[in-house]
Amino acid sequence: MKRIILTSKLLFMAALMVFVSGCETLDEGSDGLVSAGSFYSDENTLDAGLLGIFGTLRRGVWGLDNYAHYCGADDLTSRLGSNKWVVLESDQFARTAGNSWATNDYNSNYSTILAANSFIANAHPDGVDEAVINAAHANAYFLRAYCYFRLATTFGDVPMPLEAEPDLEIALTPKRQVIDQVISDLEFALQWADNARDTDPTVSNGRVTKTAARAYLAKAYMQLTGYPYNETDKWAQVKTYTSEIINAGVYSLMDNFSHNFQDPHQVNKEVIFAHIMSRESWPIITQNRVYGFRWANWMDAYMEWTYFNNFPEGFRKEFCTATDGNPFFAEFGNPIVTKFTYATGAPNSTDVGEAREHTWQTSNDRIAMRYAEVLLMYAEASANTGDPTEAIDKLNMVKRRAFANGSTKQAEVDALPAGFWMDADAAVDYTAAELDTTEKLVDAIVNERAYEFLGEIGGNRWLDLVRLDMVAEVNANRDPREVPLIGSPSDKANWWSPIPAGDTVLNPNLNGGN
């Protein structure tokens, strides 16, 4: 099993690569520095450059900053007062260009993109086989696509630099065109990625796989099927890419849902792409800050009441939620998200305070794509392309795993037969008679997605509500105990985060859009 952890030495190299990417014009020997092009001299320097890009992105996904975009959905909220306004702006449909979390997320994505652009432009060492170079570049193309997808689905129209040299007067690119670039970059990654994890999911090296490229191609095409694009013909591509992953038989659901969030390094058969983390001493800062206090003591985010009341019963709900008997529920009054409070070091614990590695810094990787999402994308594509039998089959797999025969404790789930979720379960299975129209079937799949991916980095619930034009509909069912709305969920202009004010002041060409 191979695993890459960034040590202090490697992090120094990562930082050097980020610095070098901005030094295109320096000659060799200038104050001891070399140009980016001169740096890439062999295969080892290709690897060092990639570490810099991955490290740049990881520093931007270690916390909850991207949640600033997603809380207009019906799943997550926060509380009035304190420093929670960064979360509440989207929840109350009152987004501003001064939101610090949204700005941090914007800057993180562009830092990664610029590092990827520099790598693509300069990482062509003489004497290294072209296939080796392309395999390295597949990582840069994938990460650029990943960041542009996040930007286009949260900010909308955004600047789209594709060159290493910064353009200080760059204009906005329409979000549909940005998605085209995402697809092009992912196609390159799919062609050239070379990672043993594509055939052996126990390999955990954090690098890009063909499987991850296929999964994100499916996700990009799925977003195009709905608002604001409504390109329903793209369901065929969603089904093709997800079926290729399923038919390969390499990835699978974990029998125990909770094990996805307690294994510190995600060496499992369900995680298709994750941001690898490792708790280090300051100033290494490679740890994950998503787990622990942010979901409990600090209450940065918790669940909305209507969402919690509709949460399907079963082990997934027992693991992910808490109300009565939880001290933080007693203090704050909304259902608690316990999914991320277990953290490293407590694989068999149901006590959020037991055996944590640290209260708010852990070695848990941050999952960005799981096989469960592939199954549900395939199910929705099948429903929309006239194959309801396949759709119901894959939907029921996820539903059975979540229910886990009604188990409430992890030990009970661990005692279930391996692959229990592949066998029919009349207690939870949907039947063709129940889901006898495409609308009913899609509604069931989208509802399952709502609860399967609670609080995960992709913001899936919000993206689904936008794609299906359901934002106003679900907010009409908002419980009166939630924070009051300021803007209207019916106003689609309130669905997009504004470009950060600092950028529009420096470059007026970034005004407008969305």
- In the 3-class helix/strand/coil scheme, how is 24-80 assigned residue by residue? CCCCCCECCECCHHHHCCCHHHHHHHHHHHHHHHHHHCCCCHHHHCCCCCCCEECCC
The whole-number average pLDDT for the span 402-413 is 94
Per-residue pLDDT at 311 exceeds 50: yes
Per-residue pLDDT at 37 exceeds 90: no
Its pTM stands at 0.91
∠ Cα 312 267 237 (to 5°):
65
The whole-number average pLDDT for the span 150-174 is 96
Per-residue pLDDT at 13 exceeds 50: no
CA pair distance 356, 360, nearest whole angstrom: 9
Per-residue pLDDT at 486 exceeds 90: yes
pLDDT tens-digit map of 331-388: 888 999 988 876 555 444 444 444 556 667 788 889 999 999 999 999 999 999 999 9
Please, which pLDDT band fits residue 203 given cuts at 50, 70 and 90? confident
Please, which pLDDT band fits residue 279 given cuts at 50, 70 and 90? confident
* Residue in 335, 307, 338 with CA at minimum distance from that of residue 320: 338
The whole-number average pLDDT for the span 124-129 is 96
* Residue in 3, 32, 4, 39 with CA at minimum distance from that of residue 18: 39
Q: What is the pLDDT of residue 22?
A: 38
Q: What is the pLDDT of residue 351?
A: 44
The whole-number average pLDDT for the span 111-138 is 97
Q: What is the pLDDT of residue 261?
A: 86
pLDDT tens-digit map of 409-467: 999 999 999 999 999 999 999 999 999 999 999 999 999 999 999 999 999 999 999 99
Considering only 83-97, 98-112, 209-223, 276-290, which range has the smallest mean pLDDT?
276-290
The whole-number average pLDDT for the span 305-328 is 94
Question: Would you report the helix, strand and coil content of the chain in percent, each value rounded to 5?
Answer: 50, 5, 45
Per-residue pLDDT at 307 exceeds 90: yes
Q: What percent of the chain has pLDDT over 70?
A: 87
Query: 161 near 111, Cβ under 8 Å?
Result: no
* Residue in 366, 383, 376 with CA at minimum distance from that of residue 246: 376
CA pair distance 55, 49, nearest whole angstrom: 10
Per-residue pLDDT at 264 exceeds 70: no
CA pair distance 21, 49, nearest whole angstrom: 9
DSSP state of 288: B
Helix (H) or strand (E) holding 245, with range, is helix 235-248
The three-class DSSP label of residue 422 is helix
Please, which pLDDT band fits residue 23 given cuts at 50, 70 and 90? very low
Per-residue pLDDT at 130 exceeds 60: yes
CA pair distance 285, 363, nearest whole angstrom: 11
Per-residue pLDDT at 35 exceeds 80: no
Quickly tell me which residue has 């980016």 as its tokens. 36
Higher pLDDT among residues 383 and 284, named by residue:
383
The whole-number average pLDDT for the span 127-149 is 98
Query: 101 near 67, Cβ under 8 Å?
Result: yes
CA pair distance 321, 338, nearest whole angstrom: 5
CA pair distance 340, 345, nearest whole angstrom: 13
∠ Cα 146 149 155 (to 5°):
130
Query: 152 near 178, Cβ under 8 Å?
Result: yes
Phi, psi of 336 (to 5 degrees): -95, 140
Please, which pLDDT band fits residue 36 given cuts at 50, 70 and 90? low
Longest CA–CA span in the chain (Å) reads 74
DSSP state of 332: H
